[in-house]
Structure 1
Amino acid sequence: MMGPKQEAQAALFYEFSLEDHVPQDHLLRSIDRFVDLSSIRAHLADFYSHTGRPSIDPELLIRMLLVGYCFGIRSERRLCEEVHLNLAYRWFCRLDLNDRVPDHSTFSKNRHGRFRESELLRHLFETTVARCIEEGLVSGQRMAVDASLIEADANKQFSASKEEWDAGRIDVEAAPRAVKEYLDTLDEAAFGAATPVEPKYTSFSDPASQWTAARKGPAFFAYSDNYLIDTDHGVILDVEATRSIRQAEVGSTRTMLDRVRAKFELHPERLIADTAYGSGPMLGWLVDRKIAPHIPVIDKTGRTDGTWSRADFEWDAENNQYICPEGEALKQFRRNYSDPNRGPTGKGVAKYQALKHICQACPSKPKCCPKADCRKITREEHEDARDVARAIAKTSQYKLSVKLRKKVEMLFAHLKRILGLGRLRLRGPCGANDEFVLAATAQNLRKLAKLFPAPQHPRKA
């Protein structure tokens, strides 16, 4: 039998509880257990005036931002609408049915002001990492690092080549915020000073972004999102925004490792990364700090003409010489120098050479140096660290590290597909860093919620 037609009828009194209408298995219930905002009011105390009209609670703004990044709501205008309508979002933000949702412009005012000046978002991220460590998700023994390109909010049509871009004619006072941030970062290793090479195009709206075609497709403006993770459970230990070039990405690894050690006293036994991080200086930096580099070595000494390459020669560190496959020595110096300045310096490139008369009489000369009188080999400054990385690459632990390295790539896939951070909405180095830090915080909170879900309670009848 067809039931009666449903019609809305106004009631004089309502008995309603948000707590009863949020499902017990809702993701926000699990996330809420790990959100600790007790310290943010003290953290922001110096950035608020002691007089004037009371401001909106910063904890409310942070909770709303966490909702947006946890559920891929990128627009702050839409976020305000969703929090207004969604009961679970209201519950998480501690808003009752009659409470007003802040205007979207409040986020911009606070982000460009006290949030950025106090580094509140970084403080929030580090608080979440500390909770992950407290829950036993981080051992600090094995870490992995990688970078991913995130498209900037910039268009090629509003850009210029190096010849057309004249930074000296920029009116700093009238320039947009992203341009001012670009000028402020010209001396930073992550942005302006990362490389002397000028980009092909520079965006007028976001000049700090990098014009790149690293994906082997159409070029675009982008930033690099750099993650340092613990491979036990894929917890993000640190995050850094840089230009999308290898020098800046590698440099950010040193920054993140030093910061994690200073903040959480974590010093990894090994660092896992791809070939982009396998340069001599980077490997030398890791070896000096007693960190095993589980990284493929960037090696350009191989030969394509079938003759012996440097890898075919054995290095004799005790006697500072190479031994060729025929057993002959290639030395850097064949006599002792009384003046130490004329001997080996240990810096730059060292050259090792065999004796001419030995090479001329050697039966393997066609395989070694068919077009030269004698064989010469160069050895870079950080070749010892390269040898350490090559030796590690032959172990079974390295094969495990190759598999663990995929955990970073999985986090970037989750970042773009689930959280929707395939293109930035904020401009400038500070805007990119704010988005990356908030997204990494959301990913760690979702990780905690997944591994430690909220206990289920039967609903009241």
Structure 2
Amino acid sequence: MRGQQERTGPLFSYVSTEERIPRAHPLRQVRRLADQALDGLNPTFCRLYPEGGRPSIPPEQLLLALLLQAIYGIRSERMLIEQLDYNLLFRWFVGLNPDDPLWHPTTFSKNRDRLLNEELMARFLELLLAAPEVKPLLSSEHFSVDGTLLRAWASHSSLERIDGRDDDPAPPSGGKGFGGTARKEAKRSRGDFRGLLLSNQTHRSRSDGEARLFR
């Protein structure tokens, strides 16, 4: 018999988020290891917060949410908050019940900037990665990163040889009075780097010495 789709959902749900998350889901193990790392940071959290005042976003939830953002490559904190609003898996991981109110994106960002510095975040990752169970979860088979996450004051046109010499001339174009260096500069101005041998061993950016070539 064909089942009928009900347009109106039930008013109440009696299934907890803990029951909805599969027992074999990899985030379960990540959450357990993250909780162990957060327990080690509890004395630090106690020193950061005063006794009185309005309660803030729990630092444990801040760090767990940022960990989710890194794992799933969420592009912005605003999108992270949007996911936390309707994604039960994310709510479970951070420790939010389905009916718990969610933070405003600006409130989340202000709490993160005011209370979680780079040293504290680095300590959290150190404690997390130090667990022996973490190594089997990591893989070196493939690594990809969104180019917008790489900050560099550099471009291909800013590269120059480390030894100060000119690059090898590009293949002849058939024109007269057009030297190799001039051809090289013309190709770069057009964004065409074919025929130019560029590598991290021979070239550095004149605008950002720490920038490196990646593919």
Q: Which residue of 2 aligns with 1:330?
A: none
Contact 1:28 1:92 in 2 (8 A): yes
Q: Which residue of 1 aligns with 2:201?
A: none
Q: Which residue of 1 aligns with 2:112?
A: 111
- What is the CA deviation profile of residues 75-131 of structure 1, one whole-angstrom value per residue up to 9, with x for unaligned ones? 111111111111111111111111112221133213332212x72111112112321
For 1:30 and 1:58, the matched residues in 2 are separated by 20
Q: Which residue of 2 aligns with 1:4?
A: 4
Query: 3-state SS of the aligned residue for 2:91?
Result: helix
Letter of the 1:50 counterpart: E
Looking at secondary structure, tell me which structure has more strand per residue.
Answer: 1
Contact 1:37 1:59 in 2 (8 A): yes
Query: 3-state SS of the aligned residue for 1:82?
Result: helix
Letter of the 1:123 counterpart: R
How is 1:199-214 mapped onto 2 (pairs within 5 angstroms)?
A: 209-213=152-156
Letter of the 1:43 counterpart: T
For 1:62 and 1:122, the matched residues in 2 are separated by 11
Which entry has the higher C-alpha Rg, 1 or 2? 1
For 2:157 and 2:41, the matched residues in 1 are separated by 39
- What is the CA deviation profile of residues 311-345 of structure 1, one whole-angstrom value per residue up to 9, with x for unaligned ones? xxxxxxxxxxxxxxxxxxxxxxxxxxxxxxxxxxx
Shift of 1:19: 1.3
* Runs of 4+ in structure 1 over 3 Å off: 1-5, 134-138, 148-154, 214-218
How is 1:292-441 mapped onto 2 (pairs within 5 angstroms)?
A: none
Cα–Cα, structure 1 residues 152 and 67, in superposed 2: closer, same or farther, change >3 Å?
Answer: closer
Cα RMSD after superposing both structures: 3.7
For 1:109 and 1:135, the matched residues in 2 are separated by 33
Contact 2:83 2:90 in 1 (8 A): yes
For 1:149 and 1:72, the matched residues in 2 are separated by 8
For 1:126 and 1:109, the matched residues in 2 are separated by 24
Shift of 1:65: 1.0
For 2:58 and 2:129, the matched residues in 1 are separated by 24
Query: 3-state SS of the aligned residue for 2:103?
Result: coil
Q: Which residue of 1 aligns with 2:28?
A: 29
Shift of 1:67: 1.0
Shift of 1:153: 8.3
Query: 3-state SS of the aligned residue for 2:39?
Result: coil
For 1:101 and 1:50, the matched residues in 2 are separated by 24
Letter of the 1:18 counterpart: T
For 1:91 and 1:53, the matched residues in 2 are separated by 24
Q: Which residue of 2 aligns with 1:122?
A: 122
TM-score between both structures, scaled by the size of structure 1: 0.30
Mapped pair 1:39 → 2:3: no
For 1:7 and 1:44, the matched residues in 2 are separated by 46
Cα–Cα, structure 1 residues 110 and 5, in superposed 2: closer, same or farther, change >3 Å?
Answer: closer
* Contiguous gaps of at least 5 residues in structure 1: 139-147, 155-208, 219-242, 250-275, 277-408, 414-461
Q: Which residue of 2 aligns with 1:51?
A: 52
Mapped pair 1:17 → 2:7: no
Cα–Cα, structure 1 residues 211 and 27, in superposed 2: closer, same or farther, change >3 Å?
Answer: same
How is 1:207-356 mapped onto 2 (pairs within 5 angstroms)?
A: 209-213=152-156, 244-246=208-210
Query: 3-state SS of the aligned residue for 2:57?
Result: coil
For 2:148 and 2:4, the matched residues in 1 are separated by 54
Letter of the 1:17 counterpart: S
For 2:134 and 2:96, the matched residues in 1 are separated by 32
* Contiguous gaps of at least 5 residues in structure 2: 137-144, 160-187, 192-206
Cα–Cα, structure 1 residues 6 and 244, in superposed 2: closer, same or farther, change >3 Å?
Answer: same
Cα–Cα, structure 1 residues 48 and 7, in superposed 2: closer, same or farther, change >3 Å?
Answer: same
Cα–Cα, structure 1 residues 78 and 128, in superposed 2: closer, same or farther, change >3 Å?
Answer: same
Looking at secondary structure, tell me which structure has more helix per residue.
Answer: 2
TM-score between both structures, scaled by the size of structure 2: 0.60
Shift of 1:16: 1.7
Cα–Cα, structure 1 residues 4 and 64, in superposed 2: closer, same or farther, change >3 Å?
Answer: same
Letter of the 2:8 counterpart: A
For 1:96 and 1:149, the matched residues in 2 are separated by 32
Mapped pair 1:76 → 2:77: yes
Q: Which residue of 1 aligns with 2:66?
A: 65
